[in-house]
Each structure stands twice: as C-alpha cells, then as structure tokens.
Structure 1
C-alpha cells in the first residue's frame, strides 16, 4: 500500500480525451492521471456528496426507519 502523504498541489487540464490531473505530495513525486469525462462527473458527484453530507443524511434516514 502506498504511503499517505499530504497534498501539496494539484492542477487539472482538459485534453481531447477528457482531463489530465497532476497531483504532488509534500516531499513526494508528481503523479499524472488521465481522467475520462465520465470519471470526472463521478469525481464531481463524490466531492459534492462529501461537501454537502447528502450520503450521511440519507443513511441517517434509513437508520431511523428500523
């Protein structure tokens, strides 16, 4: 398993096939990742859910039904 390192910088560039994401960790190497448009949509949805807490709230509603 890869060592967890704090994020230093990231950048996103649009390409013909989707996007190119550059991520660098404090004291680590740069990593380039190719992302399709569909994957970018999933990332955006995941970030939105994390920021709004919608998934957590949905889970709380489900627990109350028991």
Structure 2
C-alpha cells in the first residue's frame, strides 16, 4: 500500500478537485461535487471521533495537572 504524502483541494467553476500525492510523487486528481466533499469530511470526522479517545488517551491523573 502506498503512503499518502500530500493532499490539496482546489476550486473549479462548479466543483472541486481533490489532489492526492503518494510517496514517489505520483499525484492522482479526482473531480468532486460539493456534496461528495462534504461526505468525505463527515466520514473523516466520524472516524476520528470514534478513535480519538484510543489514540489520544490521557491518563486520569495527568488530566488534572
């Protein structure tokens, strides 16, 4: 599996372009509608919310300091 190294979003007249760059420099571009971009953002937000406590868990005694 290739590693994502960089991404960008640019605006076109009626949609967006999602630019994804992999290690090695290959860039893939996807035209996306505003609705598709919102769905991507919502899915990432939901996923991060689910794993945030596990990934960024802070010990109870450290939280009070």
The TM-score normalised by the length of structure 1 is 0.68
What runs of 5+ residues in structure 1 fail to find an aligned partner?
55-66
Distance in 2, matches of 1:36 and 1:15, equals 10
What runs of 5+ residues in structure 2 fail to find an aligned partner?
52-65
Q: Provide the residue aligned with 1:58 in structure 2.
A: none
SS in 2 for 1:9: strand
Q: Provide the residue aligned with 1:61 in structure 2.
A: none
Q: Establish whether residue 20 from structure 1 lines up as the match of residue 17 from structure 2.
A: yes
Report the Cα offset of residue 28 of structure 1: 4.7
List structure 1 runs of 4+ shifted beyond 4 angstroms. none
Count of residues in Structure 1 that have an aligned counterpart in Structure 2: 51
Distance in 1, matches of 2:42 and 2:16, equals 16
Deviations 1:13-48 (A, max 9, x none): 111122101111001521111000110110011011
Q: Provide the residue aligned with 1:31 in structure 2.
A: 28
SS in 2 for 1:53: helix
Q: Provide the residue aligned with 2:4 in structure 1.
A: 7
